Amino acid sequence: MSNFITRKIEEYRCKKSLRNYFEPGEDFLCEIKKLFLDKIAPEESTKKARHSWFNLPEVLKYSLASFFGLIFLGSGAAVYADKTNVDYSHPLYNFKRVAEAMRVNLAPEEQLPILHNELAQRRLDEVKKIEAADILVTTTTETVINADIKKHQEIITKLRNDMRQEVNTVISEIEEKHVQEISAHKLCDSVSDIIKEDEKRGDGEVKEIHMKNWARLEKNCGDFINASSTNPLKED
């Protein structure tokens, strides 16, 4: 038995040594491989020259593909968010704002007041939705976390500032006569409605801004502003 084991070990050792003896050298293999592949290469290089895209290294190809993929996905998400007018709480909200900024940059000059008016209306709707959600929470749960309310207040303030900026832009556009009379009529109505809605939820600090806006609006839209949209501050 022990002889058998010894013989097997010896056989194994010999086999291993034989393999080493007959094995090709690494350097030699690399050298021959290079010669062999270089002989194929001329055809390969002309093939590559025909399709310059394939000349790029693999990593660069994947990076470019990923980059364009992300751009495609990002723009798709932005268009979707803008078209569906997602809420502030939606994960794609920031994409919506990016899409809106793009629209403002790309819109022709005569369309700008209408666009700003639409954006002001959107901000107002967003504020309304957040306020409605807050009311729902307070009535159903009673225990409202102060931090959440504070956060919501901050968001609302930010959105209202954005809205006022848009309103201001629309009024400026009307002042500078960049708007046709028919459009100006509709815009004046819409803007006065937005200002009134803002006043309803407003704080005392912005009263001055409203008064200024009303004064500018009356000056430019006095002729065709509808009866229901008259300056409520005047009544005070």
Partner 1 sequence: MTDRFNNLAHRLKEGERKAGEDIFDYFAPQIFRFFRVMTGSRDTAEDLMLEVFLKTIDKIGTFNEDLGSFSGWIWQIAKNNVKDYYRKKKTVALSDLVLQNKEKSDFLKGKNDPKTALKMAEILDLIKDLSEEEQEIFSLHYLSDLSYRDISKTTGKSESSLRVLVHRVNKKIRKLFNNNE
Site membership for partner 1, residue 28 (CB under 8 A): yes
Least Å distance, CB 69 to partner 1, is: 25
Restricting to residues 86-125, name those near partner 1 by CB under 8 A: none
Site membership for partner 1, residue 39 (CB under 8 A): yes
Least Å distance, CB 81 to partner 1, is: 44
Q: Which is nearer to partner 1, 35 or 227 (CB)?
A: 35
Q: Which is nearer to partner 1, 48 or 185 (CB)?
A: 48
The rounded distance, in Å, linking the Cα atoms of 124 and 102 is: 20
Site membership for partner 1, residue 61 (CB under 8 A): no
Least Å distance, CB 24 to partner 1, is: 4
Site membership for partner 1, residue 40 (CB under 8 A): yes
Instruction: Select the residue interacting with partner 1 from 1, 2, 5, 35 (CB under 8 A).
Output: 35
* Residues contacting 107, CB < 8 A, separation 6+: 115
Instruction: Select the residue interacting with partner 1 from 5, 19, 53, 205 (CB under 8 A).
Output: 19
Site membership for partner 1, residue 24 (CB under 8 A): yes
Instruction: Select the residue interacting with partner 1 from 1, 2, 43, 53 (CB under 8 A).
Output: 43
Per rule CB under 8 A, count of chain residues that contact partner 1: 28
* Residues contacting 123, CB < 8 A, separation 6+: 159, 160, 162, 163, 166
Instruction: Kindly report the number of other CB atoms within 10 A of residue 45's CB atom.
Output: 10
What are residue 203's phi and psi, to 5 degrees? Answer: -105, 165
What are the start-end ranges of the H helices in the chain? 2-22, 26-50, 58-84, 93-106, 112-141, 146-175, 181-201, 207-221, 232-235
* Residues contacting 102, CB < 8 A, separation 6+: 78
The rounded distance, in Å, linking the Cα atoms of 94 and 200 is: 27
Site membership for partner 1, residue 18 (CB under 8 A): yes
Instruction: Select the residue interacting with partner 1 from 1, 2, 23, 59 (CB under 8 A).
Output: 23
Q: Provide the token pair at 147.
A: 């931090």
CA 130 to chain centre: 21
Site membership for partner 1, residue 22 (CB under 8 A): yes
Of 169, 166, 160, 88, nearest to 124 by C-alpha is: 160
Q: Which is nearer to partner 1, 49 or 70 (CB)?
A: 49
The rounded distance, in Å, linking the Cα atoms of 236 and 233 is: 5
Span near partner 1 by CB under 8 A; candidates 30-38, 66-74, 93-101, 155-163:
30-38
**Binding stretches for partner 1 (CB under 8 A):** 3, 7, 10-11, 13-15, 17-24, 28-29, 32-33, 35-37, 39-41, 43-44, 47
